Structure formats: structure tokens, C-alpha cells
Amino acid sequence: MKPQQDRPDLESRAMPDDHHDLRLWLRLLTCCNLVEGELRSRLRTEFATTLPRFDLMAQLLRAPAGMKMSELSRHMMVTNGNITGITDQLEKEGLVERLKVATDRRSSLIRLTGKGKRHFKKMAESHEQWVQDIFGGLSEKSRRNLFEALGELKLLAHTRLPERN
């Protein structure tokens, strides 16, 4: 990732006298946005695709028999409408196919085609390398500590925060 010290980010909104937890939240959010932005940019420039398309194909790779639109929507935490639009595009490109469900005429299973699997595997290899490049500047100890700290935060968030639907 390119250094972006000269551009304001969410963390720059924090004031030195703001509560440390607020500053921590803004730093975490800024880091997430920077990493996600870099991955989105690389997917766009190197594969002419988007992160949502990549994510949908990743879900389908894990379900070789296919998934219903509602399952994809739930796994990706987006609306069925978003899934339908992405699926329509990928189907036109021959990367996914719709299969009718014999027991439910209203439902279809979406699955990767052979072409889709080959294309996704190329993207996934690059994506993995990009993530390694981004985090590679951290020492192994720092990566491990960050992973463990975020695991604690995730557990706390699951146990302390009310579940939202």
C-alpha cells in the first residue's frame, strides 16, 4: 500500500483529548478502509471486477453444489437484490450458472461454472498475495498480537452487544 499520510482519514478527525476508545475505533476503521480500498483498487485494475463480485464467487467456491440466492444474501449480509444484480452480470460472462431446484420451481441454485472456477482461482491467488503484501510490513509478533487482540474484541462484541437483525 502506498503511504497516505498527506490525505486526511477517519482517524484524523480525532482530537488528542478524545477518549482513547474513540481514537482506537477510528484507527481500526481507518485501517479497514485503507486495506479494503487497496484490495478494491487492485481487483478493479488487475481483473476488471469488484469486491462484491469477488466475495460472491468466493462463497460459491465453498459450495460446489451451489447456493440459493437467499443463502448468498445471508452469508454476504446484503439484500437479495444486490445478489441478483451481481449474479446476472456473472451469468452473462459465463462465470456462474443458475440451476432450477426440482422441489421448488421458484428457486434456483447458483454455482460457479468451470470458467468461473478457473477465473476465481486466479483472482484468489492474487488477492492472497496482496493481503500478504499489505500485512507483510508488520513483524510476525505484531501480526500475532493484532490477531489475538481483535479476537478478544470480536468475542466481547458478540457477548456484550445486543444482536441486531
* Residues paired with residue 67 on neighbouring β-strands, in sequence order: 110
pLDDT of residue 16: 67
Residue 122 located in a structural domain: yes
Is residue 7 pLDDT above 80, yes or no?
A: no
- Total domains, the chain: 2
Residue 4 located in a structural domain: yes
Instruction: Tell me how far apart the alpha carbons of residues 27 and 153 are, in angstroms, rounded to a whole number.
Output: 14
Contact 61, 112 (CB under 8 A): yes
Cα three-residue angle 27-58-87, rounded to 5 degrees: 110
Cα three-residue angle 32-85-97, rounded to 5 degrees: 105
Residue 107 located in a structural domain: yes
Of 87, 81, 35, 88, nearest to 57 by C-alpha is: 87
Q: What is the pLDDT of residues 53-88, one digit of tens each?
A: 999 999 999 999 999 988 999 999 888 888 999 999
The contacts of residue 89 (CB under 8 Å, 6+ apart) are 53
Residue 8 located in a structural domain: yes
Whether 29 and 72 map to the same domain: the answer is no
pLDDT of residue 2: 53
Whether 54 and 123 map to the same domain: the answer is yes
Domain that holds residue 24: 1-48
Looking at residue 72, which CATH number applies to its domain?
1.10.10.10
In angstroms, how far is the first alpha carbon of the chain from the final one?
35
> Which contiguous run of DSSP H or E holds residue 115?
helix 114-135
Q: What is the pLDDT of residues 11-36, one digit of tens each?
A: 566 566 667 788 888 889 999 999 99
Residue 1 located in a structural domain: yes
* Residues paired with residue 109 on neighbouring β-strands, in sequence order: 68, 99
Contact 152, 145 (CB under 8 A): no
- Helix axis angle, 51-61 relative to 114-135, nearest 10°? 120
Q: What is the pLDDT of residues 30-45, one digit of tens each?
A: 999 999 999 999 999 9
Considering the chain, what is the average pLDDT of its residues? 88
